[in-house]
Amino acid sequence: MSEGKLKTICVVGLGYIGLPTAVVLASRGTSVIGVDVNKDVVAKINRGEIHIVEPDLDAVTARVVQNGFLRAATAPETADAFVIAVPTPFHDNKADLSYVHAAAASVAPVLKPGDLVVLESTSPPGTTERMAAQLASLRPDLKFPRHGEEGCDVQVAYCPERVLPGRVLVELVENDRVIGGITHACSARAEELYRIFVTGSLLQTGVRTAEMCKLTENSFRDVSIAFANELSIICEKLGINVWDVIRLANHHPRVNILQPGPGVGGHCIAVDPWFIVQAAPEESRLIRTAREVNDGKPKYVLEKIKTAIAGVRAAGAEPKVALLGLAFKPDVDDFRESPSLHIAEIVAGWNDCAVLISEPYADALPGALAGHKHVRLIADAHDAVRQAHIVVMLVNHRHYKDIPVADLGDKVVIDTRGVWS
Ligand code: SAJ
């Protein structure tokens, strides 16, 4: 077993995490092979272009591809370390680990003694050890780690990503990382990899603790947002401005309440708590309830829109509803698991009002919104607001900051984000 410098790194999965990781590694002068099963994504990256929106990522990608440090391919190639950053969706109350298994199977044939394999994908506790066992069955000629057994040919670790979409290039470098090796030697080798680009602390621990840590972080945030969302419904019932309550309560030195919204979206916070519920269903009462509170928020917003539409119609007008924002959160182009998109699709499906959609990150109407005569994408948000009887603020994109409050004058305003409240 030779464990020299990590000169070549293969990143498997070039999505929202894998691509920035590959690019940042390459920007430190490491030779990186980025792997994705999607040929179009591979071709695009090899032209120095990117397929996601993330501040500054385009310029750095263009540079590292041009200077030869990053090359994309459709299959893994020989390298010193492999970083697996593929999706782990949640279907039918179960984590779907098929992409992790497929990625591990694709890496297995090119592994050699001294290599490191790190799983970054969010996973239920035990996944990394199962992945190591899968690699061992595919490569019986190599010794893979098992708990407590040092002296392996290939090191295997789990290191969750913790970056916030919209701030990925900064957080990839500055955030502390939890590194869970199957053995101490695995953790130490993985630390060498992350030291190439991370300036934050590298915190070594056991593999299952690292897996649970990732799920815990996102569940903590989900529970906190559920508290804010529940508070918003309580305050509305009591005729109290929830945004004032939160702002003032947060002056207490030990209180830090998050912001209510139209629901919780994205592929992490709205999903990861279910991994914990799946692992310990009886014991996860608070975590499950928080998920239910956050999942219930879009329905609450929809009821308000329905009442507003009925009010406009009762006053003798044909209702026009402006929906501002479809993304799962401000200033990103990501519509996955977006409560705002879900709300827009349901309003469009009612078929009883004109729907004027504003979404600065969409060139065309996504999903089930396309193809309806009564649903239009309006490029200028001011224009959508001016035309509408009902204005629903769903995503506080920075583009909406300069909508004059005076334009809202006689309209029914449903402000789920507290922009004008
Ligand atoms: N949201 C609120 N109120 C808030 C904050 C967020 O309603 O006060 C909503 C957002 O609008 C969005 C959802 O929650 O719909 C999730 O957004 P987010 O900004 O909280 O988180 P994500 O999903 O973009 O990223 C999270 C981060 N995790 C934590 O903050 C603990 C990030 O660090 C993780 O790397 C990422 O999940 C991930 O990949 O797991």
Bridging pattern class, strands 320-324 and 202-206? unpaired
Residues 6+ apart with CB under 8 A from 36: 13, 14, 15, 18, 42, 45, 72, 74
pLDDT at 377: 97
Index of the ligand 1 atom closest to the CA of residue 225: 3
Q: What is the number of other CB atoms lying within 10 angstroms of the CB of residue 47?
A: 12
Question: Among candidates 214, 311, 237, 227, which has minimal Cα distance to 261?
Answer: 227
Domains and CATH numbers, the chain: 8-200 (3.40.50.720), 218-415 (3.40.50.720)
Pick the residue whose CA is nearest to atom 7 on ligand 1.
261
Q: Tell me how far apart the alpha carbons of residues 96 and 361 are, in angstroms, rounded to a whole number.
A: 29
**237 C-alpha to center of ligand 1: Å?**
27
Pick the residue whose CA is nearest to atom 37 on ligand 1.
268
The overall average pLDDT reported for the chain is 96
- Give φ, ψ of 351 to 5 degrees: 60, 25
Pick the residue whose CA is nearest to atom 38 on ligand 1.
268
**269 C-alpha to center of ligand 1: Å?**
6
Pick the residue whose CA is nearest to atom 39 on ligand 1.
268
pLDDT at 2: 53
**Which residues share a beta bridge with 118?**
83, 157
Index of the ligand 1 atom closest to the CA of residue 161: 35
Q: pTM for this one?
A: 0.92
Q: Is 229 in the pocket of ligand 1 (CB under 6 A)?
A: no
Q: Is 62 in the pocket of ligand 1 (CB under 6 A)?
A: no
- Give φ, ψ of 393 to 5 degrees: -85, 110
Type of residue found at 359: E
Pick the residue whose CA is nearest to atom 3 on ligand 1.
259
Q: Is 213 in the pocket of ligand 1 (CB under 6 A)?
A: no
pLDDT at 244: 98
Which of 247, 267, 268, 337 has most ligand 1 atoms within 8 Å of CB, for mutation? 268
pLDDT at 150: 81
User: Which ranges of the chain have pLDDT less than 50?
Assistant: none
Question: Among candidates 406, 380, 373, which has minimal Cα distance to 322?
Answer: 380
Index of the ligand 1 atom closest to the CA of residue 171: 33
Sign of the CA dihedral with 151 first, then 153, 158, and 161 last: positive
Both tokens assigned to 415 = 């402000």
Pick the residue whose CA is nearest to atom 9 on ligand 1.
264
Q: Tell me how far apart the alpha carbons of residues 83 and 175 are, in angstroms, rounded to a whole number.
A: 18
Question: Among candidates 149, 150, 25, which has minimal Cα distance to 85?
Answer: 25
Q: Tell me how far apart the alpha carbons of residues 232 and 324 are, in angstroms, rounded to a whole number.
A: 20
**Secondary structure of residue 66 in the 3-state scheme:** helix
Q: What is the number of other CB atoms lying within 10 angstroms of the CB of residue 168?
A: 23
**160 C-alpha to center of ligand 1: Å?**
15
- Could you tell me the CA-to-CA distances from 418 to 21, 242, 246, 394, 412 in Å, in that order? 34, 9, 11, 10, 15
Type of residue found at 135: L
**170 C-alpha to center of ligand 1: Å?**
16
pLDDT at 101: 98
Cβ-based burial of 370 (10 A; exposed 0-12, middle 13-18, buried ≥19): exposed
Index of the ligand 1 atom closest to the CA of residue 294: 7
Options 10, 152, 186, 268, the catalytic residue: 268
Which of 122, 171, 264, 416 has most ligand 1 atoms within 8 Å of CB, for mutation? 264
Question: Among candidates 169, 166, 176, which has minimal Cα distance to 199?
Answer: 176
Options 10, 152, 214, 329, the catalytic residue: 214
Q: Is 259 in the pocket of ligand 1 (CB under 6 A)?
A: yes
Q: Tell me how far apart the alpha carbons of residues 357 and 377 are, in angstroms, rounded to a whole number.
A: 5
Pick the residue whose CA is nearest to atom 27 on ligand 1.
164
Q: Is 273 in the pocket of ligand 1 (CB under 6 A)?
A: no
Q: Tell me how far apart the alpha carbons of residues 264 and 260 are, in angstroms, rounded to a whole number.
A: 9
- Please, how many CA atoms are within 13 Å of residue 404, restricted to the half-sphere of its CB? 5
Index of the ligand 1 atom closest to the CA of residue 338: 15
Cβ-based burial of 242 (10 A; exposed 0-12, middle 13-18, buried ≥19): buried
pLDDT at 165: 86
**221 C-alpha to center of ligand 1: Å?**
7
Active site residue 268: yes
pLDDT at 282: 97
pLDDT at 4: 75
Index of the ligand 1 atom closest to the CA of residue 163: 35
- Give φ, ψ of 78 to 5 degrees: -50, 135
**266 C-alpha to center of ligand 1: Å?**
7
